[in-house]
Amino acid sequence: EAIRQLRNDLGKENSLFVHLTLVPFIKTAGEMKTKPTQHSVKELREIGIQPDILLCRTEEYLPPALKEKIALFCNVDKGAVITAKDVESIYECPLMFNREGLDDIITDKLNIWAKKPDLSEWQNIVDITKDTRRQVEIAVVGKYVKLTDSYKSLNEALTHGGIANHCQVKLRYVDSEDLEKDVLRLLADIDGILVPGGFGTRGTEGKINAVTYAREKGVPYFGICLGMQVAVIEMTRNLCGLKGANSTEFDEGTKHPVIYLMEEWVDRDDRTQKRDRASDKGGTMRLGAYPCTVKAGTNTHKAYGEDLVYERHRHRYEFNLRYRKELEEQGVEIAGISPDERLVEVVEVKDHPWFVGCQFHPEFKSKPFSPHPLFRDFIKASLKHRQDRTKCKKK
């Protein structure tokens, strides 16, 4: 009802109704069916909405005869019936819609002048993501791996990192609970390990085992949010020898709370925030963009090429600075910290090809034409690890 009224306010010359609909292919009949589209448009017309353009989701390109049929029964121009074909990569969509003439139809109907688009960069991205000659395989270790869209932003950011390095990124989803028993087999021949954010105790020890594997085997490691926290826990236990070290999120009574609930801090608006375990989770998280001072000479600084960056956060627990000195004595480096030096943002391992854990979420700032620096360099390091391993096998 809102968009119907909006059309009346703006006028047809200043608005467009684009309707996405399904044209299923019935295998037993061997044909595409237009009835769902016809009925969908009929329902819209009954409430006063006449689509200007139809995007027809289907498995194959619509033949001209079928477009004519849809146009006739849905009262739209034949040229406004657009195939929205299933594609392997979302980055193929701009190319497909350009092929179907969607951009010309929109500019014509809105009476907008626009020069012919240059889609060469989109074509280049698609070519890279489909080229299997140069590949890297990344293990994504989490507890929501059965629904891979749970990590959609991460998946895309890893793809962006692959695009920057002209390689195809294959993802191996590993259930962190399975790693509590079978690390070597599940992570065998992997080129890089990423542990994403998450909440709760389940699967935590499996993630810690993944950290141990990456650190000891020299496999590139990228820990994000909880992925950084489990890395700190693992190194406190195994490098500093502090048995039972943990996060108070998982063990309130731990003797070594290397990750803990910080009860007071100054937010990005210079306001003092307070919280405790009884506080509402959503209202007491460290949310949004915060500054991070990056230490020169670290892999993180090499990636950013800057001394100060801003990244987005969503978490409650923090690195406990009481353990900073002990960890640094064992080769752990604080590569990023808040300007007031109260909040640790990035940790690294000095004698490791590429081991980075960050408290923030860099995946939220990654784009296909502008990959996030950390994802770019993580894929670069993983690609080198794969190449070095291949050379060793040949010898």
What integer pLDDT is reported at residue 267 of this predicted model?
Answer: 52
Q: Is a pLDDT exceeding 60 seen at residue 279?
A: no
pLDDT band at 228 (very low <50, low <70, confident <90, very high): very high
Alpha carbon 337 to its chain centroid, in Å, reads 23
Please check whether residue 292 is in contact with residue 345, taking contact to mean a CB–CB distance below 8 angstroms.
Answer: yes
pLDDT band at 394 (very low <50, low <70, confident <90, very high): low
Instruction: Taking residues 112-134, report their average pLDDT.
Output: 92
**361 is annotated as an active-site residue:** yes
50/213 Cα distance (integer angstroms): 59
User: What DSSP character marks residue 367?
Assistant: B
Task: Give the right CATH number for 2-123 from 3.40.50.300, 3.40.50.620, 3.40.50.1000, 3.10.580.10.
Answer: 3.40.50.300
- The residue that leads in pLDDT, 390 or 227, is 227
Rounded to the nearest 10 degrees, what angle do helices 204-217 and 226-238 cross at?
A: 70
Q: Is a pLDDT exceeding 90 seen at residue 268?
A: no
What integer pLDDT is reported at residue 261 of this predicted model?
Answer: 86
pLDDT above 70 covers what percent of the chain? 94
| Residues carrying CATH 3.40.50.300, the chain | 2-123
Nearest to 54 by CA among 27, 72, 31, 76: 76
319/205 Cα distance (integer angstroms): 18
What integer pLDDT is reported at residue 281 of this predicted model?
Answer: 47
Query: Which own/partner pairs from 271-277 qualify as long-range (CB within 8 Å, at least 24 positions apart)?
Result: 275/316, 277/252
What integer pLDDT is reported at residue 132 of this predicted model?
Answer: 86
Q: Average model confidence (pLDDT) for the chain? A: 91
370/392 Cα distance (integer angstroms): 33
pLDDT band at 271 (very low <50, low <70, confident <90, very high): low
> C-alpha angle with apex 175: 169 to 178, nearest 5 degrees?
130
Q: Mind listing the pLDDT tens digit for each residue in 191-217? A: 999 999 888 888 899 999 999 999 999
Residue with tokens 């692959």: 162
Task: Pick the catalytic residue from 256, 361, 372, 385.
Answer: 361
Please check whether residue 312 is in contact with residue 360, taking contact to mean a CB–CB distance below 8 angstroms.
Answer: yes
Instruction: Taking residues 276-304, report their average pLDDT.
Output: 81
Q: Is a pLDDT exceeding 80 seen at residue 392?
A: no
Task: Pick the catalytic residue from 225, 313, 318, 345.
Answer: 225
Tokens of 193: 């390990």
Helix (H, G, I), strand (E, B) or coil at 361: coil
| Residues carrying CATH 3.40.50.880, the chain | 134-394
What integer pLDDT is reported at residue 275 of this predicted model?
Answer: 63
**301 is annotated as an active-site residue:** no
Helix (H, G, I), strand (E, B) or coil at 109: helix
Fold (CATH) for 134-394: Rossmann fold (3.40.50)
Cβ-count burial of 247 within 10 angstroms (0-12 exposed, 13-18 middle, 19+ buried)?
buried
What integer pLDDT is reported at residue 272 of this predicted model?
Answer: 55
- The residue that leads in pLDDT, 28 or 18, is 18
168/128 Cα distance (integer angstroms): 6
The DSSP line for 134-181 is: SEEEEEEEES-TTSGGGGHHHHHHHHHHHHHTT-EEEEEEEETTGGGT
5/206 Cα distance (integer angstroms): 54
- What residue spans of the chain are helical by DSSP H? 2-10, 35-46, 64-74, 93-100, 102-109, 120-130, 152-164, 183-186, 204-217, 226-238, 299-304, 324-329, 373-394
Range scoring the smallest mean pLDDT among 157-161, 261-265, 301-305:
261-265
Hey, what amino acid is at 320? N
pLDDT band at 277 (very low <50, low <70, confident <90, very high): low
Q: Mind listing the pLDDT tens digit for each residue in 325-375? A: 999 999 999 999 999 999 999 999 999 999 999 999 999 999 999 999 999
Tell me the CA end-to-end span of the chain in Å, nearest whole number. Answer: 69
Hey, what amino acid is at 73? F
Cβ-count burial of 93 within 10 angstroms (0-12 exposed, 13-18 middle, 19+ buried)?
middle
Q: Is a pLDDT exceeding 60 seen at residue 40?
A: yes
Hey, what amino acid is at 236? T
**363 is annotated as an active-site residue:** yes
147/152 Cα distance (integer angstroms): 10
Task: Pick the catalytic residue from 74, 363, 372, 385.
Answer: 363
Instruction: Taking residues 68-80, report their average pLDDT.
Output: 95
pLDDT band at 282 (very low <50, low <70, confident <90, very high): very low
The radius of gyration computed from the CA coordinates of the chain, to the nearest angstrom, equals 26
